Chains A and B, each alone.
Chain A
Amino acid sequence: MISIAFLFISCVKLLLIPSYHSTDFEVHRNWLAITHNLPISKWYFEDSSEWTLDYPPFFAWFEYFLSHFAKWFDINMLKLDNHNYSSFNTILFQRLSVIVTDVVFAYGTYQCTLAFNSSWRAKVVLPLLLLANVGLLMVDHIHFQYNGIMYGILLMSLANMFKERYLSAACWFTVLLNMKHLYLYVAPAYFVYLLRNYCFTSKMFIFNLKHIIQSFSVKNTFRLGAVVISIFAISFVPFLHQIQQVISRLFPFKRGLCHAYWAPNIWAIYNVVDKAAIVAGKTIGLNINNTLATMTGGLVQEVSHTVLPDIKPFLTIVLTATAMLPALYKLWSSGSNALNFVRCLVICGLTSFLFGWHVHEKAILMTIIPLSILSVVEAGDAKTFLLLSTVGHYSLFPLLFPNSLLLIKVTLYVLYSCYAFYSLFKMYPLHLCKYSLPLLNSLESLYLIGLIPLFLYENIFHHMFSLSASLPFLPLMLTSVYCSFGVTYSWLKYYIYFLNKCDMPVKTVKKKR
């Protein structure tokens, strides 16, 4: 089933090859050239292109590996100063490299399905929900990025966690961190869960601190530390003498609070409140210095608020950490329950997404993908999954702005969302009200249906009222604000659901043989 589904989806991916690609395409072409031509000492210093290498070393090595195949397609794409080069063969190679490395994602999916009982849920629904994930299709195969391979590694790590192979889970996650440090968002969940279940061997799920502390295993802690540290060492030792440069590339806090297009999080709402305050202040005649209020200009990276206080990076970190704490405490107290671990991972991802500094809208996938595994386990998770995936994928639409993609993105989105609702409703036949979408209450249904007028406004009425000249960024702002309500609501709902979850381990997970 997985292989044939993968084949079908790969065909669609092939058809998408000539579609629009974003500047990320040039970013990755440039990285191919950098890693292919320069000695590793210069990888993180090269800055002749504005798209400097800002991923951790393993990803650089991955590009280096790919560059050896790139030679066969078009040697010119490997020239350092060949900026914005995109011959047909270059496009073909880069697109194919994403399609082929998605095999890792398929393998990760396969591993995850193995972790569950061999019901049709795991055999049919889960692979389809994961493999056909519309967010990945849009981000990887149209917009252009290599998320497939990385989520594949994340899934492999999760599958190992389900099978209680903690060391390999940790190993894969460390590898993942060294490919894309964005996954630090969910690292707290890994840390707490491994500490609780691997470093302390007690399986008691009742919170008995004394008992747990007595079960501390020096041997396990040492093994875990050795694995993690050695992987980091392999990754960073060659760059040790320039570690500061690497770090400054990896964590560019000079970028603004929000990305060019605001990710649908708390700060999008915050910005809009600020904007509204300016407008309100003007109408009642207050004198507000409006020169700095360029947030809705959309393209400016560093921005400052006018009415509300400015947000500093440190504040976002503190907020994120504080908001995660209750979930982590709950994870600690629930003992060896892999499902709760994934739940906590989703919450960590969502929390970072909501409160983080310079969050990209694509990061929402980090919560949707693990949540799709849980959606086939319990109805409560499925409810949040439906809400979050529908909103989250919608919020990716502005990434694919060219008109030629309009119909494609809508068809993909409608197909995936309908399938998700259909299959999960078949699994949990719950209609909460007479007039509501399956598994959702009427307020949530109303909210999701509200996406339709929103879409129509953005794509038709906005141009019809010829507002595109005076308010060019209004549609983007509306999307991110509308979606941020949905994401925040899902976060709250899921958080409450998780905290109220019974601590007993659920027996759907197969034990290690």
Chain B
Amino acid sequence: MRVESETWLCIFGVLVAILLRCTTSLHPHSGQGKPPMFGDYEAQRHWMEITVNLPLNEWYYNTSRNDLEYWGLDYPPLTAYHSYICGKFAEFINPDFVALNESRGYESEEHKLFMRYTVLIVDFCLYIPAIILYFILTVKMYKKSDAEIKTESEKQTIPISIQLSIILALFYPGMILIDHGHFQYNCVSLAFAIYAITFLCIHQNILASIFFCLALNYKQMELYHSLPFFLYLLSTCVPKPGQNAIAGFKKLFKIGLTVIITFFVIWAPFLTNINDTKQVLHRLFPVARGVFEDKVANVWCALNVIFKFKLNFTNESMLRYCTIVTLTAVLPSGADLFLRPNVRKFVPALINSSLAFFLFSFQVHEKSILLAVIPVILYSHIEPLTCFWFLIISLFSMFPLIVKDELVLAFVALTTFYVAAIHIILEYSKGKQTKSQTPSNSVLTDMKQVLLDALQVQDGESGLAFVRNLIEKREIFYDLVQYAVVISSLIGCVVLMLLMLIIEPPENYPDVFPLLISAYSCVHFVGFFIYFNIVQFKIPQAVEDVRHIKLKSD
């Protein structure tokens, strides 16, 4: 049996991705050796301590044994259960890891290794399979439905093959740096979200809603993705022309029941007492923490330079404004998804919704960009250049956090690796596509050829021919302009990062570089937000629906 060489490449790619994760875990974690509060690493360890030692009804309460001021549990129950399982293992390995109160700020080589392994395991078992599964299933599905489509224009070409997309998705440094460097378990909730997206794309709506409930109950940030899920699932329940309404209700009932049961199972221990439920909900949505904390690349933080929101509005009114603006921003893409449903719109709709939340919502962290990153990664095989540009900008927006965590070395290595991989794979894919037409596979050589042709014409004939020739080859010019824009934007990133590393900020503006980086990224994100909205609108309504309409009119 011969396996295709690209599949082998993919296997090696996955191994390399594992290697990158393992090696990154050698680097420092957030708050390493920084008492009294340490960082997210200590938060996760503290949750293990709390969940292992205290009874379940004390987890979310401020008691004499549970000081919520010190990294109190503020994630949904699934995170708490996960912490409990990890905590049990920790207790088995070394009870000092999770000794109540005694273990605060516990740091040792052994413990770091243990914590790193807990992330590596969930990453290997959930996230990596999720990415692989998504690309294999959805691309197959696209191809199958493409075969049904008769008209050429509606077919979606996929510039990058499944295997290469998987490799690039797994190489994305942001996930590696935040989970295995900074230390968090983002891969769990995001993996659940990816499973949900995958199942939704292959029309397994029940499975999709189960997985999305899991994701939402692991991290409430998944709310960023909730609107497209809700709207799309709802749209599938709207009876198609020619179907009767009861079928729609049946679907709705099934999905609703699934969601309720899943939630019930997860929340069961907290439902015995209504106060418990309220307390957990209160912990999950901390209004008091303000519109943003550190510098973050969203609109409020950028506008804050001109207008101090925190001084002029109370948190409550700010929350209201934020919610209104966010919902307004999601509205166009949400309405489009609901009224003209198409599975292919779903991932762009997720991008738009999560970006809208990131840009306009209340209490945003710089790490929340990962929620927008995931759908972009899942769209990268369809629109490579823009998606990779977005992904690199998203990395750049997290740079101040990276500097704080002393992960610059890992950042530089992983990003260089990633950019080089993108470069090679784009060139390779382009070369493979255009093999039959032109032998050249690099934009620059294309360009040179066009210019040479144009100049030759100019010698003999009038200038008009020169222009005409250029217009004929305008696609290549369009490519070149695109490349030029991307590259100059990336150069801007590099310059800002170098400035931040080299120059001491002036005393009265200690945060000037993080702010500049946030503003620079924010401008990009607004641009991407508009762009992906346009992308979503350009995708037509699903074919089967259109057919039904035609049938009806016949």
Contacts and interface: CB of A to CB of B under 8 A. Distances in A.
B24 interface: yes
Interface stretch (B13-21, B58-66, B141-149, B484-492): B13-21
A404 B23 CA distance: 10
B8 A415 contact: no
B26 A404 contact: yes
Interface in A410-457: 411-412, 414-415, 418-419, 422, 426
Contacts of A266: none
Interface stretch (B160-168, B270-278, B319-327, B406-414): B406-414
B15 A15 contact: no
B417 A411 contact: no
Contacts of B507: none
B12 A16 contact: no
Interface string B88-127: 0000000000000000000001101100100010000000
Contacts of A407: 22, 120
Contacts of A16: 23, 26
A15 B20 contact: yes
- Among A404, A418, A426, the one with the most B-chain Cβ atoms within 10 Å of its Cβ is A404
Contacts of A411: 15, 18-19, 22
Interface string A381-412: 00000000000000000000001100110011
A14 B412 contact: yes
Contacts of B420: 4, 7-8, 11
B120 A15 contact: no
A12 B26 contact: no
A184 interface: no
Contact of B414 (A11, A19, A408, A422): A11
B416 interface: yes
Given A8-B420, A404-B26, A407-B120, A15 B12 contact: no
B23 A408 contact: yes
A412 B26 contact: no
A202 B176 CA distance: 61
- Among A8, A407, A414, A419, the one with the most B-chain Cβ atoms within 10 Å of its Cβ is A407
A418 B13 CA distance: 12
Secondary structure at chain B's binding surface: helix, strand, loop or mixed? helix
A15 B413 contact: yes
Interface string B140-184: 000000000000000000000000000000000000000000000
A281 interface: no
A18 interface: yes
Contact of B26 (A8, A18, A419): A18
A386 to B, nearest CB: 17
Given A8-B420, A412-B19, A19 B26 contact: yes
Contact of B23 (A4, A12, A414, A415): A12
Nearest to A402: B109
Nearest to B5: A426
A250 interface: no
Given A16-B26, A19-B26, A404-B109, A8 B8 contact: no
B424 interface: yes
Contacts of A426: 5
A18 B27 contact: yes
A264 B430 CA distance: 48
A17 interface: yes
Contacts of A404: 26, 109, 112-113, 116
Contacts of B421: 8
A11 B18 CA distance: 14
Nearest to B424: A4
B93 to A, nearest CB: 12
B450 to A, nearest CB: 26
A88 B295 CA distance: 28
Interface in B384-443: 409-410, 412-414, 416-417, 420-421, 424
Interface in A99-150: none
A285 to B, nearest CB: 45
Interface residues of A, number: 24
- Among B8, B116, B413, the one with the most A-chain Cβ atoms within 10 Å of its Cβ is B413
A415 B120 contact: no
A411 B21 CA distance: 11
A422 B26 contact: no
A92 B19 CA distance: 21
A7 B109 contact: no
A464 to B, nearest CB: 14
A11 B416 contact: yes
- Among B22, B109, B410, B424, the one with the most A-chain Cβ atoms within 10 Å of its Cβ is B22
A11 B113 contact: no
Contacts of B416: 7, 11
A404 B420 CA distance: 28
A14 B19 CA distance: 13
Interface in A316-349: none
Nearest to A17: B409
A9 to B, nearest CB: 10
Contacts of B24: 15
A17 B23 CA distance: 9
- Among A4, A15, A411, A412, the one with the most B-chain Cβ atoms within 10 Å of its Cβ is A15
B410 to A, nearest CB: 6
Given A14-B412, A418-B12, A8 B417 contact: yes
- Among B12, B23, B26, B116, the one with the most A-chain Cβ atoms within 10 Å of its Cβ is B23
B8 A422 contact: yes
B444 to A, nearest CB: 16
Interface string A1-45: 000100110011011111100000000000000000000000000
Nearest to A410: B22
B109 A12 contact: no
Contacts of B409: 14-15, 17-18, 92
A14 B410 CA distance: 7
A403 B113 CA distance: 8
B12 A11 contact: no
B289 to A, nearest CB: 33
12 contacts: A8-B421, A11-B413, A15-B414, A19-B26, A404-B109, A407-B120, A408-B22, A408-B23, A411-B15, A411-B19, A411-B22, A418-B11
Given A17-B409, A411-B19, A426-B5, 9 more contacts: A4-B420, A11-B414, A11-B420, A12-B23, A15-B20, A404-B26, A407-B120, A408-B22, A408-B23
> Which 6 residue pairs across A and B have the least CB separation, nearest first?
A14-B413, A15-B23, A11-B417, A11-B413, A411-B19, A408-B22
Interface of A: 4, 7-8, 11-12, 14-19, 92, 403-404, 407-408, 411-412, 414-415, 418-419, 422, 426
